[in-house]
Amino acid sequence: MAALAEQMKQNLYAELKRTTTPPRRRTASAPRAAAPLLPPIGTQTRPNGETYHPRLLGGLEDLAFLRDARSHREHTLMVGPPGTGKTAMAEAAFAMDASPMSPGLETIVGTADTTEADLLGTFVQNPTTSTFEWLPGPLMRSVLNDVPLLVDEVALIDPRVLSVLYPLMDGRGELRIPMNPAVPPIKIGPGWFIIGAYNPDVPGAHMSDALLSRFHHHFEVTTDWDLAADLGVPEELITVVNNLEDRKILDPPTYEGWIPQMRDALAFTTTAARYGTAFAVASLLRKCPAPDRADVTEALDTKFANVTALSLGARVPQVRQ
C-alpha cells in the first residue's frame, strides 16, 4: 500500500508539472536614466551693477530654474523676508539677458493703494498738444514686449485688483484693457509669465486662494550665510544673526522680531570698511525696528562692545586757525 501511495503521489506531481505553466522570468529592466539637470547660468550682473551669485533650489540652480519655468509658462511665487534676494534673483535671471527668450523684465512694487490703472496703464495729458494719450502700465508693457513681469510685494495689493491677472494666468491667455476700449484683447506670447514676491510677515499681507492656485511653483527665499561669509561679512555678525534665528525658531514666544538679512549684512560690511566696525554696528542697530531694538542690542552685545543706535552727538569742535 505504501508503494502504491508513493506511486500515486509521483504521478500527481508529474501531472501538475506537465499542466502548470511555469512562471515567466522577470528580466531586469535597464536602470532608468536620471533626468538631466538644467544647465547652470552662472553669476550674473544686475542692472545696479551688483553681482548675483546663484543658489541651489531643489538641486537646481535658481536662475536656470526661473528661465525654465518661464519657457513652460509656470508662474512662480517667492516668499521671504526683505533683503534676502527675491528681486535680485528675478533681475539676474531676466533683466540683463539679451537672448531672444529673455530680452528684459518689467517690475511693479505693490502697495495697499495699487490700482488696476497702476498695472494696466492710464490716460495722461500731452503738455504740447493738450490731448490725452494712453500710457501703458508695467503689466501691459510686459505683454506687449513678451517679457516676464515681477510683482514685488504682491500680497499687499488688493486681491480684487489682482483679479486682472486671472485671464492671463489661466487658459484664456489674453489681456483686456477695460479703461481703454480702443485697445483690443492682447494675446500673451511664449515669453510672458509672472513672478510674484512677498514678505509674509508684513502687516496687511494677504493673497486670495484663486491667485495662489494660479502660481505653479512656490518657494521660500532666505539668506545664505555661507555665501555672506564668502562675500566678506564678518563672522561676528553672522554669529549674532544665527543666534537670533535659532531663538526665533526654537523659542518663538520670546522673540518674533527683526533679523538682519543679506542686504543688511552687505551694507554693514561696506560701512565697516569705510567708517569702522563701531559705526557699522550703530547704523545697523538704528535700522532695526524700535520694538525689537532691545533684543537686537542684547544679541549684538555678545560680539561687539558698547552697542548703541546711531544718533547725532555734540557739535564738532572748532579748529582754530
Question: Phi and psi for 187 in degrees, rounded to 5?
Answer: -75, 140
pLDDT in tens, 155-197: 999 999 999 999 999 888 899 999 999 999 999 999 999 999 9
The share of the chain scoring above pLDDT 90, in percent, equals: 72
pTM (2 decimals)?
0.82
pLDDT in tens, 137-154: 999 999 999 999 999 999
Lowest mean pLDDT among 12-21, 125-134, 142-151: 12-21
Spatial distance between the Cα atoms of 38 and 60, rounded to a whole number of angstroms: 7
Helix count (H) and strand count (E) of the chain?
A: 13, 13
Q: Please, which pLDDT band fits residue 32 given cuts at 50, 70 and 90?
A: low
Q: Please, which pLDDT band fits residue 248 given cuts at 50, 70 and 90?
A: confident
- Integer angstrom CA distances of residue 222 from 76, 228, 266, 269: 16, 12, 15, 19
User: Residue 136: pLDDT above 70?
Assistant: yes
The residue with greater pLDDT, 17 or 88, is: 88
**H helix intervals, the chain:** 2-19, 62-71, 86-90, 116-120, 138-145, 159-162, 166-169, 209-212, 225-230, 235-250, 262-275, 277-287, 293-301
pLDDT of residue 40: 93
Torsion of CA 163, 168, 174, 177, to 10 degrees: 30
- Could you tell me which CATH number the domain at 44-220 has? 3.40.50.300
pLDDT in tens, 52-87: 999 999 999 999 999 999 999 999 999 999 999 999
Q: Please, which pLDDT band fits residue 94 given cuts at 50, 70 and 90?
A: very high
- Integer angstrom CA distances of residue 39 from 78, 104, 192: 22, 20, 21
Any idea where the domains of the chain sit in the sequence?
44-220, 225-301
Average pLDDT of the chain to the nearest whole number: 87
Q: Please, which pLDDT band fits residue 99 given cuts at 50, 70 and 90?
A: low
pLDDT of residue 19: 39
The residue with greater pLDDT, 291 or 7, is: 291
User: Residue 102: pLDDT above 80?
Assistant: no
Q: Please, which pLDDT band fits residue 20 given cuts at 50, 70 and 90?
A: very low
